């Protein structure tokens, strides 16, 4: 059977044979379907990209119905159990697990790019004490572009490599400095003896001790959380990264844009909103009333639902396990009871069952972060640190893809505004 479909245009009676590749038709193939010579040709309308692929990719595979997530072919469950964040980051970027020598080199380069230029501290100092750390992160990562002007050489592989080291290395430092600024504490500098997440905990929590020793369970828990957040194919922030990158902006400005998209409560800001929601509910007994309100259309159950996962989010399963490991060290988070009750009721309730709404990655991650001593508004920042490698991998893939090269991301629109009309002088306007 040929891999084509035949479209009959009932407006003209003409038939068109359109090739099908990978279960998709090319939207530009529709352009030949016209009612007249002047007709621009048929298009497709898809607000929110519900059924449109904008690229081919080899980074991450998701099967939403089966609850499958794989980075470069490796199941997320295996990576969460056996890998480390830096090893996974290497895999996401380069496509293969590193050899020992490659991992050592990668780790060395990330570790040795974590210090920020001293002037950056001045920017951070300039932010108001209650500035949201995600806003500080977004602004500061964009400001990095003023320090590394060679970053605009996006087609130079060496420059791309250098900016990659810097971005992956400096995101935790910026994030930790934003946190220390918010609590009025002096900045803690990176410690090169520690792991990626161990050092991040050091920069967040070091007080007067000479050497900070991260708790191994918390260090590993954070590492697993970072692995789970490293990439998620064409989500909104990655799409923004590709979109900005398609205009050939430098990677710092592109990451700032991607992080801005991540900040939104429907995306990476959801982990923060889950905690605010649990606090608002306040007690297990109030869960049924809250569910009623959600069903009546008064807000959403944050941390539930996903555009792609319609069965379960495999990351949520792993996170729930990690949560209990952290609670064993730090004590049970009092909000856990409310979360468990919400999950139980929602999973039985017809409204949620019918719409295939399940807990997503953000439902439990916030409880873990809170138990580790992080304030709620730092949660999206943690997501951004981990996702940086995914953004870079997609940005690079887009830049090097012959089908994407020099193609600026530019959707079409259906114009329904006013037709041509003459300018009305101010004195004649009603
Ligand atoms: N609570 C209540 N109802 C919901 C929820 C929710 N969390 N999510 C979707 N619905 C309803 C929605 O009202 C709609 O109902 P109806 O058909 O009656 O109009 C139906 O389910 C389909 O919703 P949708 O908005 O068309 O679904 P979507 O695939 O476009 O949205 C989503 C996905 C994640 C934006 C949405 O589920 C949501 O807003 N969830 C809460 C925010 C959240 O937890 N975001 C984190 C996502 S995971 C991390 C990441 O990758 O960003």
> Whose Cα sits closest to atom 3 in ligand 1?
300
Percent of the chain with pLDDT over 90: 88
Q: What is the pLDDT of residue 272?
A: 86
181, 229, 232, 306: the catalytic one is 306
Quick check: is 113 catalytic? no
pLDDT for 388 beyond 80: yes
* Ligand 1 centroid to residue 359 C-alpha, Å: 11
What confidence tier does 1 reach under pLDDT thresholds 50, 70, 90?
confident
- Angstrom distance (rounded) from CA 69 to CA 311: 12
| 302 vs 315: CA distance, rounded Å | 16
Residue in 30, 42, 35 with CA at minimum distance from that of residue 11: 35
92 lines ligand 1 (CB under 6 A): no
Please tell me if the CB atom of residue 266 comes closer than 6 angstroms to any atom of ligand 1. yes
Nearest residue (CA) to ligand 1, atom 34 = 306
Question: Considering only CA atoms, which residue is closest to atom 8 of ligand 1?
Answer: 305
User: Of 223, 231, 250, 362, which is the active-site residue?
Assistant: 362
Ligand 1 and 302: CB distance under 6 A:
yes
Binning pLDDT at 50, 70 and 90, where does residue 56 land? very high
* Position 150 pLDDT exceeds 90: yes
Q: With 90 as the cut, is the pLDDT of residue 176 above it?
A: yes
Ligand 1: nearest atom to the Cα of 268: 52
Mean pLDDT of 90-111: 98
Ligand 1: which residue has its CA nearest to atom 32? Answer: 306
Question: Would the pLDDT of 362 be above 90?
Answer: no
**Per-residue model confidence as pLDDT tens digits over 239-290:** 999 999 999 999 999 999 999 999 998 888 888 889 999 999 999 999 999 9
232 is catalytic: no
SS (H, E, C) the chain: CCCEEEEEECCCCEEEEEECECCECCHHHHHHCCCCCCCCCCCCCCHHHCCCCCCCCCCEEEECCCCEEEECCEEHHHHHHHCCHHHHHHHHHHCCCCCHHHHHHHHHHHHCCCCCCHHHHHHHHHCCCCCCHHHHHHHHHHHHHHCCHHHHCCCCHHHHHHHHHHHHHHHHHHHHHHHHHHCCCCCCCCCCCCCHHHHHHHHHHCCCCCCCCCCHHHHHHHHHHHHHHCCCCCCHHHHHHHHHHCCCCCHHHHHHHHHHHHCCCCCCCHHHHHHHHHHHHCCHHHHHHHHHHHHCCCCCCCCECCCCCCCCCHHHHHHHHHHHHHHHHHCCCCCHHHHHHHHHHHHHCHHHHHCCCCECHHHHHHHHHHHCCCCHHHHHHHHHHHHHHHHHHHHHHHHHCCCCCCCCCCCCCCCCCCCCCCCCCHHHCC
Which residues pair with residue 74 across a beta bridge?
71
Of all helices (H) and strands (E), which one includes residue 4? strand 4-9
How far, in Å, from the CA of 299 to the mean position of ligand 1? 11
Is 0.85 topped by the overall pTM?
yes
- Of 217-226, 307-316, 394-403, minimum mean pLDDT range: 307-316
- pLDDT-derived band at 293 (thresholds 50, 70, 90) equals very high
The CB of 301 under 6 Å from ligand 1? The reply is yes
Computed over every residue of the chain, the mean pLDDT equals 95
The pLDDT confidence band at residue 324, using thresholds 50, 70 and 90, is very high
Distance between Cα 300 and ligand 1 center (Å) = 7
The residue whose C-alpha atom lies closest to atom 50 belonging to ligand 1 is: 267
302: CA distance to ligand 1 center in Å? 8
**What pLDDT is stored for residue 202 in this prediction?**
98
- pLDDT band of 74, cuts 50, 70, 90: very high
The pLDDT of residue 361 is 87
Does the Cβ of 387 fall within 6 Å of ligand 1? Answer: no
Question: For residue 2, is pLDDT > 80?
Answer: no
Torsional sign, CA 367, 191, 259, 230: negative
* DSSP 8-state assignment for residue 145: G
Residue 346 in contact with ligand 1 by CB distance below 6 A: no
Whole-number pLDDT of residue 406: 87
pLDDT digits (tens, 9 = 90+) for 189-198: 999 999 999 9
Domains, the chain, with CATH or none: 79-405 (1.10.580.10)
- Atom 24, ligand 1: residue with shortest CA distance: 307
Q: Does ligand 1 come within 6 angstroms of the Cβ of 310?
A: no
Q: Which of 229, 305, 357 to mutate to test the pocket of ligand 1 (most atoms within 8 A of CB)?
A: 305
Q: What is the structure's pLDDT at 268?
A: 87
What confidence category does residue 312 fall into, taking pLDDT thresholds of 50, 70 and 90?
confident
pLDDT of residue 178: 95
pLDDT confidence tier of residue 126, bands split at 50, 70 and 90: very high
Evaluate: CB of 355 within 6 angstroms of ligand 1: yes
Assess whether 328 carries a catalytic annotation: no
């Amino acid at each position: 059977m040929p891999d084509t479909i035949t479209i009959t245009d009932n407006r003209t009676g003409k038939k068109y044979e359109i090739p099908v590749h990978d279960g998709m038709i090319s939207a530009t193939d529709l352009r030949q379907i016209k009612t007249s010579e002047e007709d621009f040709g048929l298009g497709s309308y898809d607000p929110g990209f519900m059924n449109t692929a904008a690229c081919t990719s080899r980074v991450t595979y998701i099967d939403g119905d089966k609850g499958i997530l794989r980075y470069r072919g490796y199941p997320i469950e295996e990576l969460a159990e056996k890998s480390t964040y830096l090893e996974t980051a290497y895999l996401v970027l380069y496509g293969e697990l590193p050899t020992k020598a490659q991992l050592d080199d990668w780790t060395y380069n990330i570790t040795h790019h974590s210090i920020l230029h001293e002037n950056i501290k001045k920017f951070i100092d300039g932010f108001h004490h209650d500035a949201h750390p995600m806003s500080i992160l977004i602004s500061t990562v964009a400001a990095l572009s003023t320090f590394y002007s060679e970053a605009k050489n996006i087609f130079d592989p060496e420059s791309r490599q250098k900016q990659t080291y810097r971005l992956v290395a400096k995101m935790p430092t910026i994030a930790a400095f934003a946190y220390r600024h918010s609590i009025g504490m002096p900045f803690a500098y990176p410690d090169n003896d520690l792991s990626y997440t161990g050092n991040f905990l050091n920069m967040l929590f070091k007080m007067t001790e000479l050497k900070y020793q991260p708790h191994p369970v918390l260090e590993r828990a954070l590492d697993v959380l970072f692995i789970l957040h490293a990439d998620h194919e064409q989500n909104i922030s990655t799409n923004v990264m590709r979109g900005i990158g398609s205009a050939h902006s430098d990677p710092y400005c592109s990451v700032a844009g991607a992080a801005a998209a991540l900040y939104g409560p429907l995306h990476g800001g959801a982990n923060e909103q889950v905690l605010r929601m649990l606090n608002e509910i306040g007690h297990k007994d109030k869960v049924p009333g809250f569910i009623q309100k959600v069903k009546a259309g008064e807000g959403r159950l944050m941390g539930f639902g996903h555009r792609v996962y319609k069965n379960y989010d495999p990351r949520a399963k792993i996170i729930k396990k990690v949560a209990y490991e952290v609670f064993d060290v730090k004590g049970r988070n009092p909000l856990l009871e409310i979360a468990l009750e919400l999950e139980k009721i929602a999973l039985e309730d017809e409204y949620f069952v019918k719409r295939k709404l399940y807990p997503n990655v953000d439902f439990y991650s916030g409880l873990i972060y809170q138990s580790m001593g992080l304030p709620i508004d730092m949660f999206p920042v943690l997501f951004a640190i981990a996702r940086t490698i995914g953004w870079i991998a997609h940005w690079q893939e887009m830049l090097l893809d012959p089908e994407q090269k020099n193609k600026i991301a530019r959707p079409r629109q259906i114009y329904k505004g006013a037709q041509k009309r003459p300018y009305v002088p101010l004195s004649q306007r009603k």
